[in-house]
Amino acid sequence: MTRTMTQRGFTLVEFMIGLAVGLLLLAGAFSMAGIQLGEHHRLMLELQVQQDLRATAELILRDLRRAAFWDRAQDGVWQDDPDVPARNPFTEIAVEDAGRRVSYSFARDGSAPSAGSVRETSGFRLSDGRIDQLIAGRYQPLTDPDLLRVNRLEVRVDARAHPLDSVCPSALSRRLVTVAVDAEATHDARARHHLELLSQLHNDALSGDCP
């Protein structure tokens, strides 16, 4: 009596189908990992753009608060002698090029009392996708264009006049400065951020003289 031996296992077709399914699953896993890594990289870029932009805007705003500082403010107070009170020579803040350039001055802290105030000039500008700071009469890069491309810098100074007593025709101007910045990562335009900060300047401006 002849017995037929039954062979068990996978046929070549079944093996090829299983291999194809396994490769598809593996490709899907690698694709998902690649997407997650790409999203993680983009999120890290966005975080870096936000941090760099905030640090830059806060530095600009902090330096702007020094505008119009006068170390001899007592000379501007009315006295009994016939001398006309001096005016603060550092009051003006120049905003040019639709807010893309701002310059201002202030007295160097610690000037000798017997000598005149030492003027220091500072400022910022938007140039070729970066922000430059005016230091010692020369502009120096404040942001790194290899990492951050600044698309917009706008500085606005809004003054509100506050009339003084009726015996004094002068008006006190309190100035509010706004710094708006838009930037994106140099190598990925999707990682972008907008920031707008505002603050009142420490040193007010006085117009006119009191009799």
Q: Are 29 and 35 in contact (CB under 8 A)?
A: no
Paired with 107 in beta bridges are 119
- The percent of residues above 90 in pLDDT, for the chain, comes to 41
Distances (CA, A) of 23 to 4, 9, 141: 37, 21, 51
Residue 4 has pLDDT above 70, yes or no: no
CA 80 vs CA 77, 83, 84, 210, 211: distances in Å: 10, 8, 10, 12, 10
| Arithmetic mean of pLDDT, 78-83 | 62
Please tell me which residue, 81 or 143, carries the higher pLDDT value: 143
- What average pLDDT does the chain have? 83
pLDDT at 209: 61
CA 7-9-14 angle, to 5 degrees, is: 130
pLDDT tens-place string over residues 159-207:
887 776 665 666 778 899 999 999 999 988 888 999 999 999 988 887 7
Q: What is the pTM of this model?
A: 0.74
Please, which residues have CB within 8 angstroms of residue 195's CB and are 6 or more apart in sequence?
50, 53, 54, 57, 180, 181
What is the rounded distance in angstroms from the CA atom of residue 181 to the CA atom of residue 197? 9
Residue type, 70: W
Question: What's 19's DSSP letter?
Answer: H
Instruction: Characterize the bridge pairing of strands 171-185 and 138-141.
Output: unpaired
pLDDT at 75: 73
Q: How far apart are CA 116 and CA 92, in angstroms?
A: 18
% of the chain beyond a pLDDT of 70: 81
| Residue 101 pLDDT > 90 | yes
pLDDT of residue 112: 46
